[in-house]
Amino acid sequence: MTFTLLFTAVAGIATAWAITVPLHRYKELRPMSPRDVAAEVATPDDPGPVIRASYREARCPDCHHVFGWSDVIPVWSWFHGCPGCGRRLPATVPMVQLGLPLAMVLTVALLGGSWVALPYVWLVVVLTAIATVDLRIWLIPYWMPWAGAAVGLVLITGVSIGIGDPGAIGVAVLGAVLTFLLFFVLFLVAPGKLGFGDVRLALLLGLFLAWLHPVLPVYGLLFGAVLGVVMGLGAMLARGDSRFPFGPALALGSLVAVWLHEPILRGFV
């Protein structure tokens, strides 16, 4: 188990380093600014603005240095800053490079280092990417939840067959469908309060949480809602309004449900 955790930590550090620059290349199609999501709801008279995540270069806002992998070396770059002007790197850089390996190690440790942990290591990587981009630009690239769910389904299928529990595949798919439908209804009922990126993310989360146990999607959404309230209060204190990207709260809430699955499920045994 010690070797497994050590290997996971090293793999997590390397993965975090590799994805740091790509995640910081995402920009809004328009100049980045805090967005009034409610004002972007399309109407018959006003189709609303076209806003999407655009993949461009990761540049320093002061000296316009284009960042590469050697500019974001873990730990060193946090203190050294931009090699062109010394500007401190955004907080999302150490967040990714610390959070991803820690979350991967915690996931493997709490799942006993078994093969069941493999799909959830992938989930940690995907949710880190989604949360980072959403924090930065208030958008989730449309393909990330779909790609995360597609690869996740392959991993879930392989591990389920390998451990002799193929029935768990159907439970996972059903969890994905139901969670997606719930968020789709919320998206229709409360336009402007929830982005469709969150609806796509719900499918991904439902797939993984239901595979571990059918009740876990409920807890993941509950923890995400609580974290969302905390983020809303933080936004209120910092900016005077309660708007915030919901993706990071959903992502972390779902990982908390995975990490706490044993005490949660004891009440259902």
Contacts 24+ apart (CB under 8 A), 48-52: 51/139, 52/28, 52/139, 52/142
Q: pLDDT > 70: what percent of the chain?
A: 88
- Cα–Cα distance between 176 and 30 in angstroms, integer? 32
| Identity of the residue numbered 93 | V
| Identity of the residue numbered 14 | A
How confident is the prediction for the chain on average, in pLDDT?
Answer: 88
pLDDT tens, residue by residue, 154-170: 999 999 999 999 999 99
| Identity of the residue numbered 114 | S
pLDDT tens, residue by residue, 89-119: 999 999 999 999 999 999 999 998 789 999 9
Does 213 score more than 50 pLDDT?
yes
User: What integer pLDDT is reported at residue 157 of this predicted model?
Assistant: 97
What is the mean predicted confidence (pLDDT) over 18-24?
Answer: 96
55 strand-pairing partners:
26
Could you tell me which residue, 76 or 1, shows the higher pLDDT? 76
User: What integer pLDDT is reported at residue 32 of this predicted model?
Assistant: 46
User: What integer pLDDT is reported at residue 241 of this predicted model?
Assistant: 67
| Identity of the residue numbered 122 | W
Residues whose CB falls within 8 Å of the CB of residue 148, separated by 6 or more in sequence, listed in order: 122, 123, 126, 127, 130, 204
**For residue 231, which of 218, 222, 242, 247 has the smallest C-alpha distance?**
242
pLDDT tens, residue by residue, 51-71: 677 888 999 999 999 999 999
Half-sphere exposure of 46 (CA within 13 A, CB side): 6
Does 175 score more than 60 pLDDT?
yes
